[in-house]
Structure 1
Amino acid sequence: MSLLEVSADSTAERFAQLSLDLHDSVGLEETVQAVVDFALQALDCSHAGVALVVNGRKLEIPAVTDPVVAEIYAFQVNGGNGPLADALRDHSTIHVRHTADDDRWPEWAAKVLDLGVRSVLDVPLTTAAGTVGVLGLYSTQPDAFGRDEEAIAHILARHASIAVATARHEDNLAQAVDARKLVGQAMGILMERYHLDDDQAFAVLRRYSQDTNTKLRDVATQLIETRKLPH
């Protein structure tokens, strides 16, 4: 067996293990953390992180391997130009072979150089709904990501995209179930206190939700905690 075949077999085994790890992950943050931890092993990069789009606009940083990545993301999230925004906007992979030679984002390049980063690969996480985030890979060595590494990064990004979409769907379902339980409990309090039927109790909650511009779940929570409806 050739060295190339051994390497391919090893990578396949690692992705098989990643699939199991992602399946066993509980919640979005644990899922994304499994992805960045895997990136360090499979791609031999120095640092890795994931930035996710929340509610279509806001950026959230659920997982990084170390403070270096947190600083790089914070610079861009707080308004500094960099490849992260371009990867999200253009749904494209951005490859910086050497941060000392790249002049596309001068302030960002100076920042990452100061942190010891010499090469960067930002790969968008894309689902049927669009780009949901970016997988960022960083190395202290220049030109650390060749054609093979980029191919592996794209496979990893596909795994991550599916895992993130699944985790978010499960989180949304869990929140919906929790909200129904809270609303049901709040309705029970109103029905007992004011001798209402279930339709009337729900109408009261909905009216307070609309009048106070408060989510129905939050109205129910306040009623349960204080035994009073919001003013």
Structure 2
Amino acid sequence: MTSSSFFAQMALDLHEAPTAERTVEKIAEYAQLATNCDDAGIMLVHARQQIETAAATSHRVGESHNLQMIHDEGPCLDAIEGAAHYSSSDVSIDPRWRKWGAAVADLGIRSVLSVRLETKARRYGSLNLYADRPDAFDDDDLAVAMIFVRHAAVAIANAHNEEGLQIAIDARKLIGQAQGILMERFDLDADRSFEFLRRQSQTHNVKLRNIAEWVVANRADPDADFAVGPDA
């Protein structure tokens, strides 16, 4: 397979992934095929103190990521907030990450290449490639990885946007159903039924979507007290 057909197939597969989670998993799988690595993983950052291993081609990838959190050092973390990419030809002797390097060398990892996953609007995390041998990654691997993360970052952004949009659409439909139930049961108009849902949300400190979900779930119960809500 040529490089152009490989990336075309990858882009198609990422686009067709049903969830953001599966998108991230596919990115790691393709990264292992596209570069000269033995394992690959995705580290995603949700907030400064909320970093997770979102995908890994082996258990030791997750261990490597966890060790960076424990020692507060490592190329995957640095790639998120520092330069766009970091590499090490031999982590066991790399002076930049002495504690982490020694620990992951015990896992059989010797080389690493970490590249930031980002779009113009947001930094998502890092794509991390691992090899069992020293000097595994060269400039060609970096060039491929840089192309790869551009495809991957767009796919992750689209997946998150689509999931967020679907959640919003589902919530709107649910609220509409709840309004219809309240309008029929209490002879309310659309504005008053929505105000009722909003007031219940504020009173019980529960999301409007959850209030609507409770109303829909209890619509057939003649004894349901809609003025009490889901905390009853």
Q: Deviations over 1:70-118 (max 9, x none)?
A: 1122333467432222211125211122111112222211221111110
1:134-213 correspondence to structure 2 within 5 Å: 134-213=126-205
Aligned length: 223
Task: Give the TM-score of the pair, scaled to structure 2.
Answer: 0.87
The secondary structure found in structure 1 opposite 2:127 is: strand
Structure 2: 5+ residue stretches without partners: 219-223
Q: Partner amino acid for 2:119? A: T
Q: Contact 1:125–1:131 (CA<8 Å) still a contact in 2?
A: yes
User: Matched residues in 2 for 1:211 and 1:56: separation?
Assistant: 32
1:1-231 correspondence to structure 2 within 5 Å: 10-54=2-46, 58-77=50-69, 80-226=72-218, 228=226, 229-231=229-231
Q: Partner amino acid for 1:137? A: L
The secondary structure found in structure 2 opposite 1:134 is: strand
Task: Give the TM-score of the pair, scaled to structure 1.
Answer: 0.88
- CA drift at 1:134: 0.8
Structure 1: 5+ residue stretches without partners: 1-8
Q: Deviations over 1:16-66 (max 9, x none)?
A: 221221222222122122211111111131110112233676323322111
Alpha-carbon distance change, 105 to 51 in structure 1, aligned in 2, over 3 angstroms = same
- CA drift at 1:161: 0.6
Q: Partner amino acid for 2:41? A: G
User: Matched residues in 1 for 2:71 and 2:173: separation?
Assistant: 40
Q: Contact 2:86–2:115 (CA<8 Å) still a contact in 1?
A: yes
User: Matched residues in 1 for 2:65 and 2:10: separation?
Assistant: 25
User: Matched residues in 1 for 2:68 and 2:206: separation?
Assistant: 32
Q: Partner amino acid for 1:93? A: H
CA root-mean-square deviation? 2.0
Stretch moving more, 167-176 or 10-19: 10-19
